[in-house]
Amino acid sequence: MPRTADSLPSLRELLTTAVEAVGGAERPGQVTMAEAVHKSIKTGEHLAVQAGTGTGKSLAYLVPAVHHAIESGRTVVVSTATIALQRQLVDRDLPRLAKALKPSIGREPTFAILKGRRNYLCLHRLDTGAPEEPDDGALFDPFAVSALGRHVKRLFEWSSETETGDRDELVPGVTDQAWRQVSVSAKECLGKDKCPFGTDCFAELARAEAGRADIVVTNHALLAIDALQGYQVLPEHDVVIIDEAHELVDRVTSVATAELTAGMVSAAVKRCGRQIAEDIVDRLEEAGEGIREIFGDLPQGRLDELPRPLEGVLRVTRDAAHACITALGPDRSSQDVESTTLRRQAIALLEEIHDTAVRVLEAFDTDDAQRRDVVWLSSDMIGGNPRPPALRVAPLGVAGLLRERLFGECTTVLTSATLTLGGSFDALARQWGLPVEQRPSQKAEGTATDITPPADNDMPRWSGIDVGSPFTHEKSGILYVARHLPPPGRDGLQPAFFDELEGLVNAAGGRTLGLFSSMRAARQAADELRERLDHPILCQGEDSTSLLVSKFAEDEATCLFGTLSLWQGVDVPGPSLQLVVVDRIPFPRPDDPLASARQRAVEARGGNGFLTVAATHAALLLAQGAGRLLRSNDDKGVVAILDSRLATARYGGFLRASLPPFWTTYDQSVVRGALARLNS
Ligand code: SF4
């Protein structure tokens, strides 16, 4: 039952109760953030909040969220990018908060976690077995085949133990291919009423629980499906809180990306089986052969024009898939469960093939400047071998979608430790589709940035606030830029780089997190430093990342080198991490189809494509990487950027302004001395 605002304790009282219950002290940034979130919910004006590590930001949004849910009787959705944060919210923060607030609000606030249907074990599929899977090349690998068998066996055993059927609770995990054998997409699902397992279905139980909860925790992908793709999967809500909001655009883009492979068409042919006339299925099979041949002949990379042979084969595929869908016909109530299952499995894949072919054909219908989608052909690597090529299509931007379907529908709070780049919210606000005022951002008292948005009735209204960080970056951290090094080249790491790295790691006594722009560079550096130093060097890929991070945290002399997931996922407070080394500014690769197309599109509109796309991408990652250094109040150390362009290039100022306000030096002896003193 909703409670009136008068009968509810104030937000401030609830926050104090919550902070006391978790044994914390009141932090000014946390109070500022909680009040800003509360105001945003009350006024309906969207909010972006940058809150540094140690602010206690989850309580700062959960308390106003609970306040709103209790007062309005409506669900508040909280979305995260990572499983780690989802776990922290559901296993730690929300249970403690619910208990703490119960006496004040008269009942225990309820919460639930909800993911996409594919994340839950499907009891029906487990019972009937998986249909023909698209062959992604892994089936030619005997090791992959035996691993698949082992994983599926484990999944069967786990199915009788699990209470949630939630894939993330399966430790250790299984491959995507194995998981697909026991899960279904929303389109393949028979529906609760038709499915013989409907009443016990894990996905349905999770949905029902979410529908009754005050707070529903989900991920950005499901949020995107709910908001953008027109499937209502989340309970009715009027407020969304997006944590790890710096990941939102990438996650939404992934949901909106489609692919087409010859393997998908072959699998669809087999799924159609004897359900429809042979000559109709033969047409699809021929289309698949055409795809295999043409994808193999075309050069990989972004497609700015649609080659005629590809256009032809896409038209044939589209029409053949459509003919199969028509022949399969609609669901019939007279059909038994087995027939309905087979039909749904075939239709789901046929629709994916048909819709992707249509989307690629339409992507080239307009002239260059008007294009909304980017198309490219690429082969992923699996176990060092290339998979068969896939044609992919992704949106050039998601700003319009977010503006209309997310900001246009509910009050949205976006938060992260990294939302301001170059000292302003503008770069990310543009990507989200929020209006950006064309004036320099203003510094708020004691904080980095505070923007008041323009009052434009047609555009979503929003405000941005940086509540700062409890850490004193300029006293606890040094930013060292190795200005004397030659700029990084294309041919791997250079000898001068290794000398510099060796000197720093030695001075730090190990304790180094090496963040590299590629796995090749991380391995090269690990090999070289193992030759030169006695400190244990761990390299990503040599074991599971979580195990490597645990080893790194346990032994202070150990170093850990790796790439992308370490930039954002390492949380090691204390003396094991005193030096973060970055090998080069993490610009997107020049052949990255999406980034290069986005850059071109900005330039076509007269903007600076490099700054808007590549430098923004690099700034976000650099800020995330530098954020690994200070994780608790007592932490001290150095972020060393071994790419001289940060000091010498024109864009260097923008990138440096995106980093935490460390004390900056270019002096090698100063930084080595500081590292040595930390260990003395
Ligand atoms: S309702 Fe759907 S997801 Fe649930 S068991 Fe049945 S087919 Fe699987």
* For the CA of 341, the nearest atom of ligand 1: 7
Query: Quick one: which atom of ligand 1 is closest to the CA of 202?
Result: 4
Nearest CA to ligand 1 atom 8: 122
The verdict on the CB of residue 203 being under 6 Å from ligand 1 is yes
| Binding site membership of 182 for ligand 1 (Cβ less than 6 Å) | no
Which of 123, 167, 207 is the pocket-test mutation for ligand 1 (most atoms within 8 Å of CB)? 123
Q: Is the CB of 123 under 6 A from ligand 1?
A: yes
The pLDDT assigned to 50 comes to: 96
Cβ(538)–Cβ(552) below 8 Å: yes
Q: Which of 284, 257, 287, 301 is nearest to 389 (CA)?
A: 301
Q: Ligand 1 centre from 343 Cα, in Å?
A: 15
Cβ of residue 184 lying under 6 Å from some atom of ligand 1: yes
Q: Say if ligand 1 is within 6 A of residue 122 CB.
A: yes
Question: Can you read off the two tokens belonging to residue 404?
Answer: 């209309």
* Inter-CA distances, 127 with 122, 298, 341, 641, Å: 9, 42, 12, 54
Indicate the top mutation candidate among 190, 193, 199 to test ligand 1's pocket, ranked by most ligand atoms within 8 A of CB: 190
Q: Which atom of ligand 1 is nearest to the CA of 204?
A: 4
Ligand 1: nearest atom to the Cα of 195:
6
Residue environment code for 625-655, b if the CB has 16+ CB neighbours within 10 A, otherwise e: bbbbbbbeeebbbbbbbbbbbbbeeebbebb
CA of 121 to the centre of ligand 1 (A): 9
Q: Considering just the CA atoms, what is the radius of gyration of the chain in Å?
A: 26
Assess whether the C-beta atom of 401 lies below 6 angstroms from ligand 1.
Answer: no
Tell me what pLDDT residue 183 has. Answer: 94
Q: Answer whether 631's CB lies under 8 Å from 446's CB.
A: no
State pLDDT tens for residues 16-51. 999 998 877 888 999 999 999 999 999 999 999 999
Distance CA(433)–CA(427), nearest Å, equals: 10
- Does 197 contact ligand 1 (Cβ within 6 A)? yes
Distance (angstroms) between ligand 1 centre and the Cα of 203 equals 7
Mutate to test the pocket of ligand 1, among 127, 159, 204, 231 (most ligand atoms within 8 A of CB): 204
Q: Kindly give the distance from the C-alpha atom of residue 122 to the centroid of ligand 1, in angstroms, as a whole number.
A: 5
What is the Cα–Cα distance from 220 to 240, expressed in whole angstroms? 11
Write the residue with the smallest CA distance to atom 7 of ligand 1.
Answer: 189
CA distances, 2 to each of 42, 73, 106, 278, 583 (Å): 16, 4, 11, 59, 54
Name the residue with the closest Cα to ligand 1, atom 3.
Answer: 122
CB of 204 within 6 A of ligand 1: the answer is yes
591 sits in the region (left: phi over 0; alpha: psi -120 to 50; else beta) called alpha
Give the sign of the dihedral formed by CA 189, CA 193, CA 195, CA 197.
Answer: positive
Are 295 and 389 contacting, i.e. CB atoms less than 8 angstroms apart? yes
pTM of the model: 0.90
* Cβ proximity of 566 and 545 under 8 Å: yes
- Pocket lining: 513 vs ligand 1, CB cutoff 6 Å: no
Which backbone phi and psi does 581 adopt, to 5 degrees? -110, 135
DSSP letter for each residue of 597-626 = HHHHHHHHTTS-HIIIIIIHHHHHHHHHHH
Which two structure tokens, joined as six digits, stand for 286? Answer: 């021929």
**pLDDT at position 138, please?**
52
* Cβ of 206 below 6 Å from ligand 1: no
Give residue 121's pLDDT.
Answer: 95
Q: What is the DSSP string of 199-243?
A: TT-HHHHHHHHHHH-SEEEEEHHHHHHHHHSS---SPPEEEEEES
pLDDT at 261: 96
Q: What is the CA(195)–ligand 1 centre distance, in A? A: 6
Residues of the chain below pLDDT 50: 139-140, 438-455
Compute, in angstroms, the gap from residue 118 CA to the centroid of ligand 1: 10
CA–centroid distance, 183 to ligand 1, in Å, is 8
3-state secondary structure of 46: strand
Q: Of 623, 620, 602, whose CA–CA distance to 612 is shortest? A: 602
Q: What does the block give as tokens for 203?
A: 């996905």
β-strand pairing of 390-395 with 373-378? antiparallel
Query: Which residue, judged by its Cα, is nearest atom 4 of ligand 1?
Result: 201
CB of residue 348 inside a 6 A radius of ligand 1: no
Q: Which two three-digit tokens encode residue 231? A: 């499937």
Residue 626 has phi, psi (to 5 degrees) of -65, -30
| Sequence-ordered list of residues with C-beta below 8 angstroms from that of 5, at least 6 positions apart, any chain | 71
Q: How far is the CA of 332 from the centre of ligand 1 (A)?
A: 18
If you measure from the C-alpha of residue 127 to the centroid of ligand 1, how many angstroms do you get, rounded to a whole number?
11
Q: Give the pLDDT confidence score for residue 213 in this predicted structure.
A: 97
Distance 629 CA to ligand 1 centre (A): 45
CA–CA distance from 614 to each of 193, 583, 649 (Å)?
49, 17, 14
